[in-house]
Amino acid sequence: MVDAGLGQRLLDGPLRWTPESLPPNPLPAGERRARFSPSGALVTYFHGTPRQFSGSLFDSIGGGGDRSDVENQITREDVFAVAAVNAPVPAAVASLLLNEPASGRLATLLRQLPTDIDLWDAEDETLAIATKAWDEIRTIHEAGTTFGADGGFAANKLLARKRPRLIPLYDEKVRAVVYLVEGASWWFSLRDALRVDGEDNEVRFRVGAAMLEAKVGYVSVLRGLDVILWSYASFGGSKPK
């Protein structure tokens, strides 16, 4: 199921152009809060000094999860990387992921997912395979935990690490700001939101503009959007000065 209103909600919320459109901040100077800025969020997240967010290393640990020599296998670096975005993988789960037979099953699925395709260009069949990989990782996660903990978010982040242009991150923070209608798929809904108007897509334009201003062109558009959404959720739509 697709949430047809997702794109407009992103434009009206986390990706809203605010500096000229909003009235002056009525709070006293000592209590004033800066309006949320997508590019400012990216600068803070990726370029903060000292480094404030371990997630800024998610894409670069070990050279990236989609580099050609490891693109179809889950590695120790991938496990470290997802821990950096608040999805620590228990040792027992990591052992299952990194060894046969699970590693072989995942490799078979990953080989069917291209590294050079963007979410908005992906066909239903490609996302169906990605869903199978997500199910596989989630099942492995549940098998490796004492109480069968839900590994859905960890599975999503592992796949986003392996296919950063194809799979968007999803967790409690993102869920809290995108307001998906009940039963809607995040991947399919975001894909459709990023497809509207083709090359003139406004969501992609605003994310790209924020990334350009923040000088973070080395990460995918999906990762840029994820950081914007995460920051918007974390700071409640504003960031303290």
Mean per-residue pLDDT, 145-170: 89
- The tens digit of pLDDT for each residue in 8-65 reads 999 999 999 754 334 344 444 444 345 789 999 999 999 988 888 999 999 999 999 9
Q: Which residues contact 183 (CB under 8 A, 6 or more apart)?
A: 1
Q: Which residues contact 9 (CB under 8 A, 6 or more apart)?
A: 178, 179
Least confident stretch, 12-26, 114-128, 135-149, 152-166: 12-26
pLDDT, residue 150, reads 66
Tell me the C-alpha to C-alpha distance, in Å, between residue 178 and each of 52, 53, 147: 24, 22, 29
Q: Give the residue from 158, 98, 116, 99 showing the smallest Cα distance to 133.
A: 158
pLDDT, residue 147, reads 62
* Local structure of 231: helix, strand or coil: helix
Task: Sketch the domain layout of the chain as residue ranges.
Answer: 6-18+36-235
Rounded to two decimals, the pTM is 0.89
- The tens digit of pLDDT for each residue in 210-221 reads 999 999 999 999
pLDDT, residue 130, reads 98
Averaged confidence pLDDT in the chain = 90
pLDDT, residue 49, reads 85
> Exposed/middle/buried for 183, CB within 10 Å: 0-12, 13-18, 19+?
exposed
Tell me the C-alpha to C-alpha distance, in Å, between residue 72 and each of 29, 69, 173, 240: 53, 8, 28, 41
pLDDT, residue 17, reads 73
Mean per-residue pLDDT, 84-101: 95
Least confident stretch, 27-31, 83-87, 118-122, 181-185: 27-31
* Phi and psi torsions of 6, nearest 5°: -60, -50
Tell me the C-alpha to C-alpha distance, in Å, between residue 181 and each of 1, 3, 107, 150: 9, 6, 33, 21
Q: Give the residue from 142, 167, 137, 132 showing the smallest Cα distance to 73.
A: 137
